């Protein structure tokens, strides 16, 4: 992979990179399509990174559909698929990690200790191997995208970090490999994340600016769904990820909710433009 990447760089080509954990869906493929429109060659990776799963999390049973994934990437027009073995990525004696201080221990980082250190480390390793001009990430994982952007800036990485929109099912549920775990009644209940964020979006469009009232309404909505258990509902500054009391600048409404055994996340992007607020699901 390094050889291919070096050659592309030496030829002055603009490599695009889409890192994934496989079990590919239309959300992943939207990143691939954006990469293909902007870069050549495009490299995708599939690596279910063991270190970013907590001891009680779903590493063993994480969906693995390698054959189908390869076909989807090939059909989309991806030039290379990088699917390293865990033993190559973490050989015996591996010791180094990178931690983006402050942004990594809040929100998902509080519920999943060590998760973002592991994510930042694997993404840095993959970026070092692939050396892309641009690397494409989904806003579905907004905190992850924010942390990776910070890491790229802090470590003077050559790669530009591009954050792409959230792709949703027709009923609004954000696409996720973990949606495959949902039982039919849980799948119906899972739309509560979208409905709560959409409620916030509508309130904002009607002029609501008070973050406490917005988060209270989202929490109440989540509580109204018997199969849902709220982890967090927060309204934060998109740069610092610190809670805000009033909406201004760029903010994120972030939700993490457990539906049965499945933990789902989703978010709403709120941007101030010419004095009015634009909220995007």
* For ligand AMP, the closer CB: 16 or 211: 16
CB 281 within 8 A of CB 172: yes
Nearest to 232 by CA among 111, 116, 148: 111
Given a contact cutoff of 8 angstroms between Cβ atoms, the answer to whether 261 and 242 are in contact is: no
- Would you tell me which residues interact with ligand AMP (CB under 6 A)? 20-21, 27-28, 30-31, 137-138, 140-141, 164, 166-167, 174-177
Provide the β-strand partners of residue 235: 253
State the minimum distance, in angstroms, from the CB of residue 169 to ligand AMP.
9
Residue number with CB closer to ligand AMP (45 or 131): 45
Active site residue 33: no
Residue 64 or 110 with smaller CB distance to ligand AMP: 64
Give the nearer residue to ligand AMP in terms of CB position, either 140 or 201. 140
- Pairing, β 276-280 against β 262-273: antiparallel
CB of 164 to ligand AMP, least distance (A): 6
Strand order in the sheet with 80-82: 80-82, 42-46, 16-20, 134-138, 160-164
In degrees, to the nearest 5, what angle opens at C-alpha 191 toward C-alphas 190 and 194? 125
Q: Among residues 28, 33, 115, 156, which one is catalytic? A: 28
The residue number with the shortest CB distance to ligand AMP is: 138
CB 169 within 8 Å of CB 194: no
Q: Minimum distance from CB of 24 to ligand AMP (Å)?
A: 8
Cβ of residue 146: shortest distance to ligand AMP, in angstroms? 11
Catalytic site positions:
28
């Amino acid at each position: 992979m390094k050889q291919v990447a070096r050659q592309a760089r030496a030829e002055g080509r603009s490599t695009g990179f889409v890192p994934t954990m496989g079990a590919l869906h239309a959300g992943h493929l939207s990143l691939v399509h954006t990469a293909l429109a902007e870069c050549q060659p495009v490299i995708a990776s599939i690596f279910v990174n063991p270190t970013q799963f907590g001891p009680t999390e779903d590493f063993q049973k994480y969906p693995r559909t390698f054959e189908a994934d390869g076909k989807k990437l090939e059909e989309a027009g991806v030039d290379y698929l990088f699917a390293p073995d865990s033993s190559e990525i973490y050989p015996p004696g591996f010791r180094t990690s990178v931690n983006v201080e402050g942004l990594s221990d809040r929100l998902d980082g509080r519920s999943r200790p060590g998760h973002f250190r592991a994510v930042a480390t694997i993404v840095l390793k993959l970026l070092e191997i692939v050396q892309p001009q641009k690397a494409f990430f989904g806003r579905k994982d907004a905190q992850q995208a924010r942390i990776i952007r910070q890491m790229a800036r802090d470590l003077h990485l050559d790669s530009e970090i591009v954050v792409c929109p959230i792709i949703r099912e027709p009923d609004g549920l954000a696409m996720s490999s973990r949606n495959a775990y949902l039982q039919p009644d849980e799948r119906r209940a899972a739309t509560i994340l979208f409905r709560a964020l959409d409620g916030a979006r509508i309130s904002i469009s009607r002029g609501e600016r008070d973050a406490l009232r917005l988060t209270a309404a989202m929490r109440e909505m989540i509580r109204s769904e018997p199969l849902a258990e709220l982890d967090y509902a927060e309204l934060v500054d998109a740069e610092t990820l610190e809670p805000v009391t009033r909406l201004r600048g760029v903010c994120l409404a972030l939700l993490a909710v457990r539906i049965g055994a499945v933990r789902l996340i989703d978010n709403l992007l709120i941007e101030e433009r010419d004095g009015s607020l634009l909220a995007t699901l």
